[in-house]
Structure 1
């Protein structure tokens, strides 16, 4: 039978999602877990019918990465978690058709970026994101030479010192979201006028002093992947996920408080 799994992971310690022979990746850990459970014969070999919704970069995390493959009926999110490291938690699953493919059957993907921007002008953020929304050729926002035309939906909300920027599309070219965030940051800070977004979306390459790189990877999360499939939450697995990442949240908040105290010299 073929089954799809929702997987959450903290990507800060990984060199990305996709399997690499000499680096720690989420997919490497997933394949090792499947081999340990006897689903596959060895950790270097993916299971039959295997596919993943996307390939997140080094440092990027996910709430709803989705993988699908052929497996025995007993393989639940809890069973999978028993051989996965704490950084990676399966939390829901769905029995799917034998033809189901986690990459090609996805209807949309949504990323969220937590941008620290306490002094950013929200109206300029809104303007920049509105200009990015819709159908465009985003060739200036990716190193890819093909597949750069996308229909993009954008949004944001203010959360204290942070901006939560949302990008949703059927798929994304490489580095797109992080470069789009850098562009929004430039406009929000006043370093570039909102009209600069229109230039980036134009047909001419953006070079020289106007060229820009990608925002850091760690604040980016693959938040959702939509399918015409109903996923069932595994409540025991969800409890494990909440415990693991809840502890991590407290640890990082504590570290932030300590760092904040260290900045005071009174």
Structure 2
């Protein structure tokens, strides 16, 4: 079978992260179970032939363009793949790729966005903090990773305001466990005046922070895996699959807005 790469969007809240784990539901479990049901994956196989994914996300993290690739039959279009899955996981684009393609190792860069509710934060301070993150740093104090190199190069780190939210966008070849969410906490502390912007430089120099100064990870619900770039690979959106993503996540946006409005009503009127 030819190898094909797929773009996958998902709501991470029902899952204990992307990567398979024993005894808890994950996004990979959902993908593999769907492929088994369609006889694309043999019952005795742990994963499809040639399978790899662009990266891992933690429990509760969303994705717009997680990317998986494996040897796939011709009929498995994005809309067909989505039809095998629950609404929490949608496949919306695909690309035919060479046999040697590896969704993890061949990614030139990956990008995340974090949507941070911070109505009182100073945008200029947030941007000043983000600017100091660009380049190669040792992020040992900003990750829960326990082995391997902790040096990473951030090719970009930007912050924009969208109403009461700050949207922080970061791009790098690869990221460490919890790194983006800890960077968000650090930038927010600078933007709210809790710590000076020089704290960013210290955070990028392992051992410079006291234990109580190390920023904890921001909540996972604000984080979205938005992109993985593969040179020479062009993903073709499936119109019907794209519409399914818009419908599912549009409905969830309305539900979330309604729930937020009701919660605000209770908070404002109690007592």
TM-score, structure 1 as length reference: 0.97
1:146 to 142, 145, 148: 148
Deviation at 1:208, TM superposition (A): 2.8
CA distance in 1, matches of 2:170, 2:6: 23
Q: Are the aligned partners of 1:111 and 1:167 in contact in 2 as well (CA < 8 Å)?
A: yes
Q: Are the aligned partners of 2:139 and 2:206 in contact in 1 as well (CA < 8 Å)?
A: no
Structure-2 change in CA distance of 1:226 and 1:43 (3 Å): farther
Q: Which residue of 2 aligns with 1:180?
A: 183
**Aligned-CA RMSD value:** 1.3
- Of the structure 1 ranges 194-203 and 219-228, higher mean CA displacement relative to structure 2 is found in 194-203
Q: Which runs of 4+ in 1 moved over 4 A?
A: none
Q: Which residue of 1 aligns with 2:254?
A: 250
Matched length: 266
- Of the structure 1 ranges 179-188 and 208-217, higher mean CA displacement relative to structure 2 is found in 208-217
Structure 1: tracts of 5 or more residues without a match: none
TM-score, structure 2 as length reference: 0.95
Q: Which residue of 1 aligns with 2:69?
A: 68
Structure 2: tracts of 5 or more residues without a match: none
Q: Are the aligned partners of 1:32 and 1:43 in contact in 2 as well (CA < 8 Å)?
A: no
1:92-131 residue pairs with structure 2 within 5 A?
A: 92-131=93-132
1:1-266 residue pairs with structure 2 within 5 A?
A: 1-42=2-43, 45-144=46-145, 145-152=147-154, 153-228=156-231, 229-265=233-269
Deviation at 1:201, TM superposition (A): 1.3
Superimposed CA distance per residue, residues 159-213 of structure 1 (whole angstroms, 9 cap, x where no aligned partner): 1110000010000011100010111111111111001111111242523321221
CA distance in 2, matches of 1:246, 1:147: 40
Structure-2 change in CA distance of 1:44 and 1:37 (3 Å): same
